């Protein structure tokens, strides 16, 4: 049986950062990944551009329960340290509206320089290594694959990711093993995910994209709001405005099993209510055709938002419908269409300074497997780099 100082489960951003950090401290280390190649999610991130992090990097951009842990980690390995790491290994970066990208605009460049650093440090990688079991005896961990291979180590870093995009490597299979070691798992649910509605309007407008302001309403209370693109689809709604409020919606529906979940959509955020009402009133007075009442304000198909003939002559009703159209959310799309995972290992079982388990000595966690979920814009990758490097450098 192979014996090493450190085994890292997961060859994504957090696992790679942990390996670089541990090896730089002369630890013997191996990455075990279930895929035939490491960094698959990195390649897919940022629509192939890889949004490395955000210049505005602090705990306020993460789920409330995760903020104390995020704050602790970023105080030790935050924006400056992440940027320095990539500069050291040869990656040129630039900022666009606060989002940091590789200068090449190719995520493959990020994976390439990371692989080069792993090679320079002589970090071995076990590919197609699907973990079957984790055990601990006499201060040593044994990690066993489904193919029967076993590796023994003093320190185990679990950076296996969450459940989003399972085809790219992380399917949540490690949750059960970590729970068996005495840890609580906060029920994982899809985040940054489209929502499903039963609305005729969505079918009529499918393929239409507009700028909109969206509010998520749970049990008649607004829990979050966002402004961005709104895309009508045959199943419901997508676009950045929806993705940015979807975590609260998903937690309510999928984890808390709440039925009273709505979204309120302002389809013309660039006009206030009084201005829009005045314009609609003028058009009605001038005898504009019904299908033209919103022409020049919204795309031509949007006369479908009128729900009844009585609305055509009522500027107040038209304004209310356009500025605060209410949709009842039936469900969210599933893991194959979710960018992130909300939930995971309860951070109450993790030491804030080191990311070591409070239950099992020598066991560490990093990345998306923890109950830490950031907003879109590079926050989740930043968490992966920061938590991975922190977990790896703890001797």
Domain limits, the chain: 2-190+338-393, 195-332
The tokens for 388 are 């991975």
Which pLDDT value is given to residue 109?
A: 98
Which pLDDT value is given to residue 98?
A: 95
pLDDT of 144 over the 90 cut = yes
Share of the chain above pLDDT 70, in %: 98
pLDDT tens column, 152-170: 999 999 999 999 988 887 8
pTM of the model: 0.94
Which pLDDT value is given to residue 105?
A: 97
3-state SS, residue 383: helix
pLDDT bin (cut points 50, 70, 90) of residue 281 is very high
Work out the number of other CB atoms within 10 angstroms of the CB of residue 296: 9
pLDDT of 371 over the 60 cut = yes
pLDDT of 308 over the 70 cut = no
CA-based nearest residue to 371, from 387, 385, 359: 387
3-state SS, residue 375: coil
Architecture of the CATH domain 2-190+338-393: 3-Layer(bba) Sandwich (3.50)
pLDDT bin (cut points 50, 70, 90) of residue 312 is low
Considering the chain, what is the average pLDDT of its residues? 94
Q: In degrees rounded to 5, what are phi and psi of residue 328?
A: -90, 130
């Amino acid at each position: 049986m192979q014996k090493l100082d450190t085994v890292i489960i997961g060859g994504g951003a957090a696992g790679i950062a942990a390996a670089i950090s541990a090896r730089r401290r002369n630890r013997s280390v191996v990455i075990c990944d279930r895929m035939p190649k490491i960094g698959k999610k990195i390649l897919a991130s940022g629509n192939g551009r890889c949004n490395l992090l955000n210049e505005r990097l602090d705990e306020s951009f993460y789920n409330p329960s995760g903020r104390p842990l995020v704050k602790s980690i970023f105080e030790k390995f935050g924006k400056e340290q992440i940027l320095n790491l990539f500069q050291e290994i040869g990656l040129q970066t630039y900022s666009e509206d606060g989002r940091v990208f590789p200068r090449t605009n190719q995520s493959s460049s990020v994976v390439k320089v990371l692989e080069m650093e792993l090679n320079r440090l002589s970090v071995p990688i076990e590919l197609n290594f699907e973990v079957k079991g984790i055990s601990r005896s006499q201060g040593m961990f044994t990690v066993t694959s489904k193919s029967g291979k076993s590796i023994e180590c003093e320190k185990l870093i679990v950076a296996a990711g969450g459940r989003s995009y399972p085809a790219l490597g992380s399917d949540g299979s490690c949750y059960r093993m970590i729970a068996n070691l005495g840890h609580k798992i906060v029920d994982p649910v899809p985040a940054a995910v489209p929502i499903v509605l039963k609305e005729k309007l969505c079918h009529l407008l499918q393929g239409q994209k507009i700028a909109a302001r969206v509010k998520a309403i749970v049990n008649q209370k607004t829990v979050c709001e966002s402004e961005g693109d709104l895309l009508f689809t045959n199943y419901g709604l997508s676009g950045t405005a929806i993705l940015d409020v979807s975590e609260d919606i998903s937690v309510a529906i999928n984890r808390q099993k709440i039925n009273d979940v709505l979204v309120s959509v302002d389809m013309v955020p660039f006009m206030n209510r009084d201005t829009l009402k005045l314009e609609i009133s003028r058009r009605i007075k001038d005898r504009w055709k019904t299908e033209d009442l919103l022409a020049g304000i919204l795309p031509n198909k949007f006369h479908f938002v009128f729900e009844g003939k009585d609305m055509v002559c009522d500027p107040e009703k038209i304004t209310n419908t356009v500025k605060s159209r209410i949709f009842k959310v039936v469900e969210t799309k599933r893991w194959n269409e979710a960018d992130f995972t909300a939930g995971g290992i309860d951070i109450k079982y993790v030491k804030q300074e080191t990311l070591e388990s409070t239950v099992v000595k020598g066991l560490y966690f990093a990345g998306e497997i923890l109950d830490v979920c950031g907003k879109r814009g590079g926050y989740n990758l930043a968490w992966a780099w920061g938590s991975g490097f922190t977990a790896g450098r703890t001797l």
